[in-house]
Amino acid sequence: RIKDDAKHLVPNKMRDFFCTINLDQEEVFRTQVVEKSLSPYFGEEFYFEIPRTFQWLSFYIYDKSVLQKDLRIGKVSIKKEDLCKYTGKENWFMLQPIDSNSEVQGKVHLELKLNELITDNGSVCQQLVVHIKECHGLPLINGQNCDPYATVSLVGPSRNDQKKTKVKKKTSNPQFNETFYFEVTRSSSYTKKSQFQVEEEDIEKLEVRVDLWNNGNLVQDVFLGEIKVPVKVLRNDSFQAWYLLQPRENGNKSSKTDDLGSLRLNICYTEDCVLPSEYYGSLRNLLLKSSDVQPISASAAYILSEVCRDKYDAVLPLVRLLLHHHKLVPFVAAVAELDLKDTQEANTVFRGNSLATRCVDEMMKIVGKHYLKVTLKPVIDEICESPKPCEIDPIKIKEGDNVEINMENLRYYVDKVFREIVRSSISCPTLMCDVFYSLRHLAAKRFPNDPHVQYSAVSSFVFLRFFAVAVVSPHTFHLRPHHPDAQTSRTLTLISKAIQTLGSWGSLTKSKLTTFFDTQGRTRIGKKNFKKRWFCLTSREFTYHKQQEPIFTIPIKNILAVEKLDENSFNKKNMFQILHGEKPLYIQANNCVEASEWIEALCRVTRSNQKRLSFYHPSAFLNGNWLCCKATIENTVGCAPCTADVPADTQIEIDGDRETERIYSLFTINMSKLQKLEEACGSIAVYQGPRKEPDDYSNFTIEDSVATFHTLKQITDIIDKLNESHEKYRKKRSSSAKYGSEHGENSVHNL
């Protein structure tokens, strides 16, 4: 989760700035453009799961240009290993100059070995064998796949033996498969040494260096990264491992740099190690029975929200876990009932940021995002693509504009948006309907003399917290690919305010809502000709369009599998494939996050298909054979197991073990607060009278100290056992790690 703003940027005059968020060299998010400023405040929050390994999280500040290429002012780069230092708090970072020697990403696969050779005359020679196999994830150069080659060197105080691979064309995942040989020590008489032993003084000073370059042809070659391996770590052993490419040691470290300004970031980074499912049984069961605990404030789920400093940290995994196990509706009803006990007036029902309202907010984001697109995307597209002036503030209105005409334009947009929302009730996801049904009846029970409260209880969520928020920030909900311009943003803000007002007055008259689940989206598309197209995904069909009319349609029931496509198929990154009755459809997304989201959405709507494949081909069929397995028959069975070959049991793809691990981590981080809450329960049990002075636990909700204490003991016992399991795993992983190997295969990363 990331929020940012900047100050004192150069060049030292008012400019239009924006910021990008990059995983290594791949842009995954972009802020809005802040016009005419030297200290732009972006104030945007991005939450995303990281779908691949990475080394650096980077932030680039750009000077927006209309006619020329946007100018990169400077950057902030944070190593993955250092993210935990800055998580959960605001930090100012000085912008660093952008140096090609520091702009690296990707990894290289090497096999290193020391050999003993006996020459014809009986002397012994020590030989180093370097087999450079392949690279993966090299950066794009000017938006295109690079032409990489590698130099392999044996470097010491008085030597620098260098050799070079062949250049591989247009690929970010080059397959080199080349072997190089280097003499390590002087030849010596075999009779003097009965066994192979490398001289210590030579070993200590030698290292293998592999540099990756992009072949520039007529221009200068571009540095892509390097790795260094001391020869001494090899000894008499052979090493084969993936090594992450590193920047040059002098990269981005000039002796004197200009002050480029600074960037303030609020980063929340989590990395969880998910154990096998059986380890989480006790904690999972304790959380899932929370809605049955009386009172609800004594439940494990409620206690989690009490001890977390930011309730959002607790709400996200909690809602996903309860949703996955069909326990969310009764839990929301229970905490909403507790919320209503403290609500004194009907017109303030569910207006605060309580556990109940945050759970409903998060639930709507998860299950309602496609409902939003079905309802709002057409009208939002109209507003953004053919905007009409809507400014009605006399101070802000442009010269020549007419307030009356602008008012009519605004009324037209508001009427259209409101009409679409009212008509959409039949399309509302079943889970949202179930939650709203519970909230309506709880509100009516709490305020029996107010006939409108059952409607305002729901409209406070539907209008104020759901549709109005999506209207003002359409890019956040994937209704638009980028930020609207300043004038359109102002129009959307005015519409959103009107929708909030109407939602406060209006009522939802539809009492019987039917089940409907839909999804819609857009991205670039291509077959082998890779023309730009628009996607449209619904619960019935998958289509792509050149303009409004679809030019190709695949019924959802005909989709057999949705899988990633190896980059070497077409030398293009972020590709995936849709397998159906005809030839596979190959698609390229804009970045790795977008590709992951599309695969997830397509898998979700096709899970219940009866003829889903169990095996697929990770690469394409080109020039008479499959690139992955070299089979020559196009309709032959796939060579790799499908990654999503499980039956449909939920509408939303959620990993329950992963969410339980996140909750375990939150309990562990807040163990001191659990202990304080335990002490509070003991104090209340001993001293039954009213407390005159506020104490350390006055902010905790303790309705039943005995029941709360009992739950706390269960939580701490479970956490202690999980701590032991994690410690055993850490020791096992540490003992099995090899030099150069990548770690964290079972880790989950979130920002």
Please give the full DSSP string across 261-287, using - where no structure is assigned. Answer: -EEEEEE--EEEEPPPGGGGHHHHHHH
Angle of helix 369-385 relative to helix 355-367, nearest 10 degrees, comes to: 70
Residue 683 has φ and ψ, to the nearest 5°, of -65, -40
Q: What is the DSSP letter of 167?
A: P
pLDDT of residue 667: 94
CA dihedral 395, 398, 403, 407 (to 10 degrees): -100
pLDDT digits (tens, 9 = 90+) for 382-410: 999 888 999 888 888 888 888 899 999 99
Rounded CA-CA distance 291/482 in Å is: 40
Backbone angles phi, psi at 60, to 5 degrees: -110, 130
The CA distance from 114 to 236, in Å, is 6
What is the per-residue pLDDT for 401?
Answer: 84
Contact 6, 75 (CB under 8 A): no
**Ranges of residues in the chain whose predicted pLDDT is under 70:** 1-5, 7-8, 10-12, 119-120, 142-143, 185-203, 235-237, 250-258, 426, 504-529, 548, 644-653, 685-698, 734-751
In the 8-state DSSP scheme, what is residue 41? B
Place of tokens 């592999």: 210
Q: What is the DSSP string of 408-439?
A: HHHHHHHHHHHHHHHHGGGGS-HHHHHHHHHH
Confidence (pLDDT) at 665 = 92
Closest-CA residue to 32 (of 377, 369, 473) = 473
- State whether residue 652 is helix, strand or coil: coil
Q: Say if CB 751 and CB 80 are below 8 A apart.
A: no
Q: Could you tell me the CA-to-CA distances from 663 to 126, 282, 407, 549, 722 in Å, in that order?
A: 54, 13, 49, 47, 12
**CA atoms lying within 13 Å on the CB side of residue 272:** 22
What pLDDT is recorded for position 337?
93
Would you tell me how many other CB atoms lie within 10 Å of the CB of residue 495? 23
Distance separating alpha carbons of residues 90 and 95, to the nearest angstrom? 16
pLDDT of 520: 28
pLDDT of the residue at 185: 67
Backbone angles phi, psi at 609, to 5 degrees: -60, 130
Output the pLDDT for position 519. Answer: 36
Q: What pLDDT does residue 198 have?
A: 47
Among positive and negative, which fits the CA dihedral 186, 188, 190, 192?
Answer: negative
pTM of structure: 0.65
